[in-house]
Structure 1
């Protein structure tokens, strides 16, 4: 492997993650959302988008005009929507011959203050397909970007690309990105072209491994949805055979219990509930001011991000591996406007290198709120029983150039 071939590979990764994702998000925001926030849009279009996962007739179906095909996994759907079974309306469910024929989708609502940048290529593709105006070329351009993403994933073992192959892939990506950008505006197309040129001149360093991980996660979410579709088809076929051969055993209550059990497995309340989150902060606001803007502090969208070290002290009864996976998922799916960005995490002691907005770091109430949101997501994804009393300690260390640490603590 030559360094040039490796650079070729990671430049394509950067072009997808740094430019293609941004342009696709911009297209959705400008050409599909209009004046609405992404949260408002998702609630308005809930019926169309929920049915790329839910295949049954639902309480909002009026005519069979929506093709109901499971195109994504439940995990992908829950990137956009939160699910609360308590919001279901009993009368919205209908049965025929002991079989559930209509479901209630009132349990779904858009995540609060969700940003369009959380969507990956797969979700963006379906949002544009189901809710867009089908501008000429858009579907084809996104499909080409998705194809290159898949090809990059399948080269993960060698992580290299010849100059000739790089040129072909780059031209394909560049044409698709510019095609979408021109649909937004000529000014934005000029801006996108500059980003593409800058990406082609990149010096590849270790940080681009994170972007490579994002590409892989995006790909595997799509593949998992395909696996889930195939498995569900097998289950449906077996259920239909059981109902045909033993209709008395396959009762309405059995099917209802089956659905309830599956829902419990797939969802978990994300409230912190009875888990007390202790946050220990080492380092004062005065120490934070000592950082030099050219070294440890970086500006992003007019915000200053402070590098910090975090370490979780969890109860011994909790599954450390699940906690690690939950935090790592948060790291990979984070958006640029988040106030806490996790850059790296160790599975051994759950210590993290992160960046926190200086504004948040200097306000005890904002910091508590941000950490509680992070911990709530972690508890949900790690399948922790939040109704059991427990203490979770988050130790936050702000590097101090004077090497003097001043501890303080807050309770979440």
Structure 2
């Protein structure tokens, strides 16, 4: 038999337990335990016994009247939640029935406890077994292990969680246990009731078989569409397939590897991703999941994607926080046409790279997974933060719901309550996890140990603003220093927020300065490209048909490539600095929200050094950046890297072609010089063009050259503070 999926197995066990098993258990309880009385009267009659399953060691007023069933060695089988489901404890105790010694109760009053109107159908298997254990003095028909087997399977279903999956073998084993023990219990009621229960189980099996057959047909249809898409993709330009069948798409040095392609467009069968059946029948929804190389800034990519609504034929529906997962919608007809879908697929990747300004000259491999469905994904899948640490240690897989800021650990709801109940962690700060949490979990080193002395950081010197261990205090901080406990300093600094606000301000200013320089460099590179095109056109027009034209253009191209190389080198260096300071910015966000006051305080102090170093690196690099120029004055001069390279030989050759005398060549050359330099050359009265060139170089050496028609490679930050201060 084909099965629908591992997650469907869990749902089927839940359906069997809820629709059939508990119905049989409830009938058995009413017949054998209640024995023709109502559950309300049963609770009223047995409240003394049930109370001491909640409070087993301390006697009550009823114990005083009859035999006491409380004992210091007794353990109860009910908790407060279960007891309050059955009884109301809000009434006041009778006079002299409750005895106290100080704050300690030595005798309880059960007269104020009244049964609630509860239906047997509201009881689960655990509460039923507890009631039977406490109240049934006689031996019930059947074997006690039947209820225990059902309880064990119920605990397995409940603890594994809806987001987890179980194997086929586990599913079959749990199903057989539920079915066998349920039919055994049903037989205690009667043979006819057992046959009726067996028919209900067979009906469920038949429904599951039908679903499996439908799903098998659907999967075959989806596999066929997937195969057609992959075959069409192999024939697209830039797409290759390696020896193991891995399909890749090359964009310059950027390689997209198609790691997964899943197609679910042949049915609208309900899945975990469904948010509503009211969907557009002409649409198909595509989820793109891209791996994030270290050279990519995910936050920059997300910010740019938020400014666009469509890439090629794909409409952006949602971009997830924390990674590059894009939910898009596209025409269903496009997906059903493999050739058109493949073209749109590759165009989407191209436009993604262009929109997000991703550098394709860096060798990077990006894994791409695509999932298509007739149903939308947005806001439907519960974000998984990871597994509960404590449950993992017990070989259990439970999704986490809480985060301990002090321990930096994930916990489920149950384990977080236990964690908060211990003396050691009673004061720990526990956060509830939610979908809006960004940059979680924090990636911050939590080392609070002195590297020099291998001792814990426990103190803070207010005088030197230094975090210290006990040995640091003894060695480097005299008795005149103001030493306080690190926890105290962290609480004071965190409450005032002065430290983090100062660091955040400096980080934001530094990022803004870097972005401004990058913007200036982008503008400058565009001007260089324009100047190169204009000079190239000018030379081609004036030297057309001349053999020296190719040599001149080749020399011009070489200088242009040198200019662009210098600019691109500066851009890459600045992007690297920005990437490092952006990482610190994210860590500041994480420290404030997901770390304890002590951990955040230590990180803030360490971050001061990181930000200061990044600021110093940026300022020093700006000072060493070269001003690169490439332009033509009167169509005759090339300027590069602050040094003027005159092309007088070209002018002489042009003069020969045009039959121009040498004094015109010299005049043309001098006219093209900057004003002060041209005045110096004319005042020196050169005899010929060669003499004029020598005088021009001499004048340039004596600072007569002041070219006003140049473009700065980066703005000068004279107004910025040269040092980082907190």
TM-score (norm 1): 0.46
Q: Which has the larger radius of gyration?
A: 2
